[in-house]
Amino acid sequence: MGSNQDHHTKLGEFFATSICGNDILSSVLYVSGIAAVFTGVFAPVVLLLVVGVLYLYKAVYTEAVEALPVNGGAYNCLLNASSKMFASVAGVMTILSYIATAVISAKVAIEYLHSIVSVPVIPATIVLLLVFALLVISGMKDSAKVASGIFIFHLITLATFIVFGILYFLNNGIGEFMANYSETLSTITENGGLLPTLFFGFSASLLGVSGFESSANFVEDQKKGVFRKTLRNMLVGVAIFNPLIGLLVLNTLPMETIVISKDFLLADAALSLGGDMLKMLIVTDAFLVLSGAVLTAFVGVSGLMYRMAADNCLPGLFTKVNKKGANPRIVIFFFVLCSSILVLTGGDLLSLAGVYTISFLGVMTLFAFGNLLLKRSRPRLARTYRAPVIYAVLAGSATAAGIVGNIMIDMNNLIFFLTYFIPTLLVVFFYIYQEYSLNFLLSVTRRFKKINEYLYRRFDDAIDGNYLIFVKSAKKLFYALDYLNKNEIGRNLYVVVCQKDLSDKNYQEVKDMLEMIEKSGLYEQYVIKLIHRQADFDPETVAEISHELEIPANRILIGSIKEHHTFSYDELGGVRIIF
């Protein structure tokens, strides 16, 4: 995964859409039932509001991810717009969201299968998780081929369901819908009015946007220009299928049946529309597409955790990449984590549902906030698209309101989320601030020479790690040093000034500034070496110095890539923008 993959593994529009499309379009299997339970016949209206939120996020994601096309989604956006600590919060939320996605999707897929074939649910769920773990380890292309087959079958199944629903309407009219309308009106009165009903229905139905964030977490595996097409395709799919299928279900089943069978609503609706054959088709499709959502979780978390490990937010062992471009250690760790949580909860999805809802809505909200930060802190960063500020504000407000609504619906959602979130965040913070722990261990083991030497050898890169800073002028130097002091623990710094025109005074000004810093004792913890390169600042120069000093791209810090530059950010290989 990540930037270590060869060019031939890049995914085109169809394969990339299939991976994330299976995740977001699997929502049609349950979101119609959720919306109908809360809002009755107004479910299609609520589902259209959710489509509106996705439309706003399409613009937000397009701006940020195309400006910074590196795996990591909200984590990467916030890392380049704010601080590592703030970015790590988004990273942890995204990891939790993927854990919940994988376990819930796998469990529900087996539950659907169990309705027609008797299988032991928990063991079968673990086997399903293992199958997709092995598939992702085998390489991105193989994963994408499986995902595309599932995606095509899912689209055909949904189209078939819609055809039967329309035929039912032509033969039977809207009698069932009108009966449900009368019942909805009485329910709204009991719930305190239309607005509260729509609010809670909207909050619960935001489950239908889960998966939209997935494409940003494997953007490095997509061909140039594909990312925004995946967002468009997901938006179109949700806009067509979710409201329409919700409307057809409301015209097929009475409200009491919808409430009872909300978890497997389309299967029961299919039985009424087309008999056992259509129900069998829906059940088979549900198993396959939910399995596809498991695949998306493995692919997405691989890209994210690789980036976080490379940034010293997670153990460095997760940066190991195999010949297929996959991250086997991440995949195995994620599989073990998902399986253990499944066993520990006994398959009870209530706690995971709480983690799932707040996690992915939190990720979306943080991404909108990150977009606003990027506009403010990196205004001159080159962009292929600029989302209107009001879009980011409205999008973030909508998902933030969804978090509040879901907590109001069930306080356990927040409790279960915090149960998983806090320990995971503490682990990440330990790695971010591991310098303090390592220095403490080195001090207490000073009398034990062998242990002390082992610790230093084992963690020498974390303690004395090299960083490379490209600066154009002296005034940016203090900002870069302050950023490093707050966010990184490496102490060996190389400051590079690219100056093709020798008459330019920038190099001398930076040199004078470094001498002044050294004399003052400010930033005395750093060993700073100044490099003067008579060349233009461009991808070739960055790659050349990176190779010479053996410093990876994620430890190279630069200013914003501006409109006048002849190259784009992604050509620099994943360096970090800090000013």
Above 50 in pLDDT, residue 8?
Answer: no
- Cα dihedral: 567, 573, 575, 579 (round 10): 20
Q: Cα–Cα distance between 346 and 351 in angstroms, integer?
A: 11
7 pLDDT tier (thresholds 50, 70, 90): very low
3-state secondary structure of 558: strand
Q: Name the CA radius of gyration of the chain, rounded.
A: 26
Written in H, E and C, the secondary structure of 461-528 is HHHHCEEEEECCCHHHHHHHHHHHHHHCCCCEEEEEEECCCCCCCHHHHHHHHHHHHHHHCCCCCCEE
Over residues 521-546, the pLDDT tens digits come to 888 878 889 998 888 888 899 999 99
- Is 532 in a helix, a strand, or coil? strand
Tell me the residue type at 210. Answer: S
Q: Which pLDDT score is estimated for 164?
A: 96
Bridge partners (DSSP) listed for residue 531 = 496
> Which burial class, exposed, middle or buried, applies to 175 when counting CB atoms under 10 A from its CB (0-12, 13-18, 19+)?
exposed
Tens digits of residue pLDDT in 121-151:
889 999 999 999 998 898 766 678 888 999 9
Of 73, 26, 356, 30, the closest CA to residue 214 belongs to: 73
Stretch 273-300: mean pLDDT, rounded?
Answer: 90
Of the listed ranges 81-90, 429-438, 550-559, the least confidently predicted one is 429-438
Give the tokens for residue 406: 């879901």
- In this predicted structure, the answer to whether residue 223 has a pLDDT above a threshold of 80 is yes
**pLDDT confidence band for 12 (50 / 70 / 90):** very high
* Measured distance CA(90)–CA(79) in Å, rounded: 10
Residue 507 has pLDDT above 50, yes or no: yes
**Are the C-beta atoms of residues 370 and 94 closer than 8 Å to each other?**
no
CA separation, residue 508 to residues 495, 502, 511 (Å): 13, 10, 5
On the CB side of 267, CA atoms within 13 Å amount to 18
Q: Residue 485: which pLDDT band, with cuts at 50, 70 and 90? A: confident
pLDDT at 5: 43
Q: Look at residue 72 in the predicted model and tell me its pLDDT.
A: 83
Q: Of the spans 110-114, 121-125, 322-326, 487-491, which averages the highest pLDDT?
A: 121-125
Mean pLDDT along residues 505-519: 85
Q: What confidence score (pLDDT) does residue 388 get?
A: 96
The answer to which of 4-18, 29-43, 327-341 has the lowest mean pLDDT is 4-18
For residue 399, what pLDDT is reported? 95
> Whole-angstrom Cα distance, residue 456 to residue 463?
8
Q: Which residues of 200-220 are buried (b: 16+ CB within 10 A; e: fewer)?
A: bbbbbbbbbbbbbbbbbbbbb
Could you tell me which of 182, 92, 158 has the C-alpha nearest to residue 431? 92
Average pLDDT over residues 408-436: 82
Label residue 350 by pLDDT band (50, 70, 90).
low
Highest mean pLDDT: which of 181-185, 265-269, 386-390, 477-481?
Answer: 386-390
Reading the block at residue 313, the tokens are: 């937010």
> Model pTM?
0.82
Q: Is 71 helix (H, G, I), strand (E, B) or coil?
A: coil
Q: What are phi and psi of 467, to 5 degrees?
A: -130, 150
Q: In what order do the strands lie in the sheet with 556-558?
A: 527-533, 492-498, 466-470, 556-558, 576-577
Q: What is the mean pLDDT of the chain?
A: 86
